[in-house]
Amino acid sequence: MFSNTILLAAGFVLLWNSGFIGAEFGLPYSGPFTLLFWRYLALSILLFAYLKIRGQFRWVRFSTAAPNMLVGVLAHGVWLSCVLLALNYQVPAGIVALVVALQPMLTGALSGLFVGERTSITGWLGLSVGFGGVAFTVLSRINFQDVESIFGYLIPLGSVMAITIASLIQRKMEVSRAVHKLPLALSLFYQSIATTIFLAIPAVLWEKLATQWQPHFIYTMIWLIIGVSLGAYALMWLLLKRIDATRVASLFYFGPPVTMLMAWFAFGDIVQITDLIGMILVFVGVLLTQFRFSKIDKNIELDKN
């Protein structure tokens, strides 16, 4: 059980963060919303065909579909729109991943309210250290004389908010007996179709669906659809069934070094010394978050009582 969870987590980290690189590859050929619209339209068609072939497709009541659709709009539409907009403002992919790593702090703060899962003292310490690492790196990168630079580095905060709320809603659905759970593939279909509708508005109105259908763009889209949209998101929801929302969220802390390495290989992005210091702090935060010193926490709780 534990080894399988480790493998799921490693696969999720690699696939998820390859999405930053794939997005940067695809942006020269279309606008951010148009790229995402084509991606989720194709994904919806593939999921519909898969479910039909396996005889698993069915229309469900809106009350059942609505939570899944909301998760889709937040975890796919809003999250990725903010990521691609930040990349469009020339924020390096590794730094976007680092900003997104703020999610565990917010998830930890809200998890108790939404799901009732307690975050330990060492867990809070880890989240705080990780937050410090992210803030240190981002602040050293921002050009405070350039309004566009400040705005570009703030955009990924929208991703943080969206994916945090989506993770908490998904976790609440998993632990609640009152919620009718859909099979994973069917849930992904409703998430995808809702995301497609959500993205169609800005893609048509603002970008006119302008796209350069070059082979490079097509290959990038294939990877984003199969490797990231299907692979990474499926692994994330499987992990949420096995472990609590705070621990799943802490896996985002592994994103920055993985993404920076990929960006260096793909685009020649230079890793600065401040990036390395920030990543070290983030790594310490991950260790504190993942390995809870239960005896110390228990003694602290006893002292409080």
Q: What is the pLDDT of residues 156-200, one digit of tens each?
A: 989 989 988 888 887 777 666 656 778 888 998 999 999 999 999
Q: What is the pLDDT of residues 116-148, one digit of tens each?
A: 666 677 777 877 887 788 888 888 888 888 888
b (16+ CB within 10 A) / e for 240-270: beebbbbbbbbbbbbbbbbbbebbeeeeebe
Contact 252, 105 (CB under 8 A): no
Please give the pLDDT value at position 298.
44
d(CA 7, CA 15): 12
Q: Which of 40, 222, 17, 44 is nearest to 101 (CA)?
A: 17
Instruction: Name the domain count of the chain.
Output: 1
Answering whether pTM is above 0.95, one says no
Domain span at 137: 2-304
Rg (CA), the chain: 19
d(CA 229, CA 77): 11
Q: What is the pLDDT of residues 33-57, one digit of tens each?
A: 999 999 999 999 999 999 999 999 9
Contact 254, 13 (CB under 8 A): yes
Please give the pLDDT value at position 140.
87
Token digits for 250?
Answer: 């802490």
Q: Band of the pLDDT at 305, cuts 50, 70, 90?
A: very low
Residues 6+ apart with CB under 8 A from 111: 117, 119, 168, 171, 244, 245, 246
Contact 253, 29 (CB under 8 A): no
Q: Band of the pLDDT at 300, cuts 50, 70, 90?
A: very low
Which of 13-17, 205-209, 273-277, 299-303: highest mean pLDDT? 205-209
Token digits for 286?
Answer: 């991950």
Q: What is the pLDDT of residues 235-283, one digit of tens each?
A: 887 887 777 766 776 677 777 788 888 998 888 888 888 888 888 887 7
Token digits for 23?
Answer: 């997005």
Q: Band of the pLDDT at 66, cuts 50, 70, 90?
A: very high
Instruction: Say whether pLDDT at 154 is over 60.
Output: yes
Contact 282, 99 (CB under 8 A): no
Instruction: Say whether pLDDT at 301 is over 80.
Output: no
Mean pLDDT of 273-296: 71
Contact 80, 36 (CB under 8 A): yes
Please give the pLDDT value at position 57.
94
